[in-house]
Amino acid sequence: MVAIVRRSPSRALTLIEPVFRPSRWFDELERIAEEMWESWRPIQITGLTPRTDIYEGKTGLTVKMELPGIKKEDISISLEGDQLMVKAEKKEEKVTEESTYYSCERYFGQYSRRISLPSPVNADQISATFKNGVLEIKLPKTEKTETKKIEVKVK
- At 122-139, the pLDDT tens digits run 888 999 999 999 999 999
Q: What is the pLDDT of residue 9?
A: 57
How far CA 146 is from CA of 5, 58, 82, 114, 120, in Å, comes to: 84, 21, 8, 16, 9
Dihedrals phi, psi of 82, to nearest 5 degrees: -100, 20
CA distances 109 to 60, 74, 75, 84, Å, are 31, 11, 12, 20
> In sequence order, what are the beta bridge partners of 116?
83
For residues 88 and 70, the answer to whether their CB atoms sit within 8 Å is yes
pLDDT, residue 98, reads 81
The CATH code belonging to domain 52-92+106-154 is 2.60.40.790
Amino acid, single-letter form, for residue 54: I
What is the pLDDT, as a whole number, of residue 49? Answer: 80
**What was the pLDDT predicted at 111?**
83
Q: Are strands 127-131 and 152-154 parallel, antiparallel or unpaired?
A: parallel
Q: What is the 3-state secondary structure (H, E, C) of 19-37?
A: CCCHHHHHHHHHHHHHHHH
83-113: per-residue pLDDT in tens?
899 999 888 877 777 877 777 777 788 888 8
Which percentage of the chain shows pLDDT scores above 70? Answer: 75
Cβ(88)–Cβ(76) below 8 Å: yes
